[in-house]
Homo-oligomer: A and B are copies of this chain.
Amino acid sequence: MDKLYIIKIGGNIIDDEARLKNFLEDFANLPGKKILVHGGGKLATRMAEELGIEQQMVDGRRITDAATLRIVTMVYAGYINKNIVARLQANNCNAMGLCGADGDIILAHKRSHPVIDYGFVGDVDAINSKLIQTLLESNVSLVFAPLTHDQQGLLLNTNADTIAQELARGMSSQYEVSLIYSFEKAGVLLDANDDNTVIPIITPDYYKELKNQQKIFAGMIPKLDNAFNALKSGVKTVIIGRAEELTRLVSGSSGTRIQT
């Protein structure tokens, strides 16, 4: 089985030109098959402000109303996605930028919640793994904007972490998938304030132990639960660490590896 790297970068990289430049060079140089999933960054918020569109918040959560959906479609699938693609091309990486509507690659449905109307937010139902494979086998690297569609004509704003995870699960029968979540810390830490306390490997047993001993930062638990769920669905490894250290994350000399 060929290896496939699925790498999610957060908005903090998108917003920082120097870090983005380094990251895109590292991504371009990564050998083999690879997929990048990007989040939004502050540009969508700035654009909403410039256009005088107020962010709708319900119970502390941002709601994707029609005006917000229009902005994220422009900013995520247009500006950010196409600029990343053009810059990867300049680094000799033949990238193709897509959202989940393209090629029916990520089918979702509008979230239905008993209390909160999240608006145009999608929960993923299916991945078109055959078309993704065709593209990867043509030596194209894919760059995904965090939008899906419902097959009824609606685009839906969808969490980029979730998209990365669903792509990883969906591709795990064809490839040996490593799912890499990049964030602002060096990995899963024993002491949340000390980057020198990265845990190199977490297995299911060790995770149980860490939780029992309350040695793990509470905010990490949903991320790790998701990681172990991905492993259960056939994903080979989940790696958590800094986007600036992509090459070392992949080689195993940085970050935290979650594996069975």
List A residues at the B interface (Cβ < 8 Å): 50-51, 70, 73-79, 81-83, 85-87, 89-90, 94-99, 101-104, 131, 134, 138, 140, 147, 149, 151-155
Contact = CB atoms under 8 A, between A and B. Distances in A.
B155 A83 contact: yes
Number of identical monomers bound together in the oligomeric complex: 2
Contact of A134 (B86, B87, B99, B138): B138
Do most interface residues of chain A lie in helix, strand or loop, or is the interface mixed?
helix
Given A86-B101, A131-B140, A134-B138, 4 more contacts: A50-B50, A74-B78, A77-B77, A98-B102
B77 A89 contact: no
Nearest to A148: B86
A103 to B, nearest CB: 4
Of the candidates A78, A99, A149, the one having the most CB atoms from chain B within 10 angstroms of its own CB is A78
A98 B145 CA distance: 13
Contacts of A76: 78
